[in-house]
Amino acid sequence: MERILPFTEEHMMFRQAFGRFLDQEIVPHFEQWEEDGIVPREIFKKFGDHGYLCTWAEEEYGGANADFLYSVIAVEETVARGLTALFTFLHSDIVAPYLASYATPEQKKRWLPKCVSGESILAIAMTEPEAGSDLQAMRTRAEKVGSEYVLNGSKTFISCGINADLVVVAAKTDPNAQPSYKSVSLFVVERGTPGFERGRAIKKIGLHAQDTAELFFDNCRIPQENLLGEEGMGFIYLMEKLQQERLIAALGGIVTAEACLKLTIDYVKERKLFGRPLSKFQNTQFELAKIASAAQAGRCFVDQLILAHMAGHNIVQEVSMAKYWCCELGHRAADRCLQLFGGYGYCKEYPISRHFVDSRISTIFAGASEVMLSLVARNLGL
């Protein structure tokens, strides 16, 4: 089915160029980065040199002032190749928009150009050991002392936590605020700030090349100029940006399902069992037909949401549905497709295995599936 997104010739040229860049500069080295447990910092600089970071940024900050479809293309091409662990989309389309929306003109001049060039790598720190999807349960505190804020607390499961130069940190500035959501503020903590330490890199079952870390703040003194937006508005800012974050997650789920389907169709046509191609067995046909049907339905839904998001509509309910359904689909597709590969699917040399382990986290990050269902139910008046 032809997609409804208004891709132009320029978009298609970008897709081709970006795909070639990934094939030439990233794919040949990615397995080594998986072994190393981290993507080299210079790769972000290489993305920036080619204009592939924060393409939406205004020209005065080095960006191309491009529309959201360029971000969509970058996510699609990256995930389809099994390169999700690069997490350049976290930098460009999840964290950097906080700076674009809430930073002062002076802060933007200070931070955004290096984000676009890849000289500064971004991360966002919300999750704590006892506060994941429930952001209001966070314990990290930021106390105003003179012209500084003193930050104390810890964060965990922070993507790009080792590489990050700028970390957007959520902390409570007034634990007694009413309503309670006004207790949270956002701060930009820079690499090298005294009292800011990184813990060990967390070893994971998937996304091996993506550096995930614990962060610690021990009397970390932050200049008041690093407050992002208004004090007490942090929770609101996080909610405003979660729409795009969860839409990107949903898109990744659909692309994963499509990529697994393509890999498996090619494989079952060649693989023989009991003297005939695996593709000729009814079970194989039905399994892949189910995935194809679900992926097509999900693709139509997500593309419609992309259009609505670009038009500036509030689609929190629909994006919550999509994040739940598409991410569950992506992992389910990877699981069923791996089954059709048999023992080979369990071997790292087959790309289906990476899709399987990398897709597992998608039903947890950016809001677990259970949280998405709770949000949907609440908006149904339940």
Would you say 199 and 125 are in contact if contact means Cβ atoms under 8 Å apart?
no
Residue 192: φ, ψ to 5°? 90, -5
The CA–CA distances, whole Å, from 74 to 39, 79, 251 equal 17, 9, 11
List, as one string, the DSSP characters of 113-159: HHHHHTSS-EEEE--BTTBSS-GGG---EEEEETTEEEEEEEEEEEE
Closest CA relative to residue 195, chosen from 241, 137, 143? 143
The CA–CA distances, whole Å, from 375 to 133, 234, 268, 369 equal 12, 20, 39, 10
Which of the residues 245, 258, 287, 318 is marked catalytic? 245
Closest CA relative to residue 26, chosen from 70, 74, 81, 71? 81
| Strand pairing report for 141-145 and 148-159 | antiparallel
Report the C-alpha gap between 69 and 93 in whole angstroms.
11
Would you say 93 and 86 are in contact if contact means Cβ atoms under 8 Å apart?
no
Instruction: Specify the DSSP class assigned to residue 203.
Output: P
Report the C-alpha gap between 231 and 331 in whole angstroms.
39
Specify whether 270 is catalytic.
Answer: no
- Catalytic positions are 245
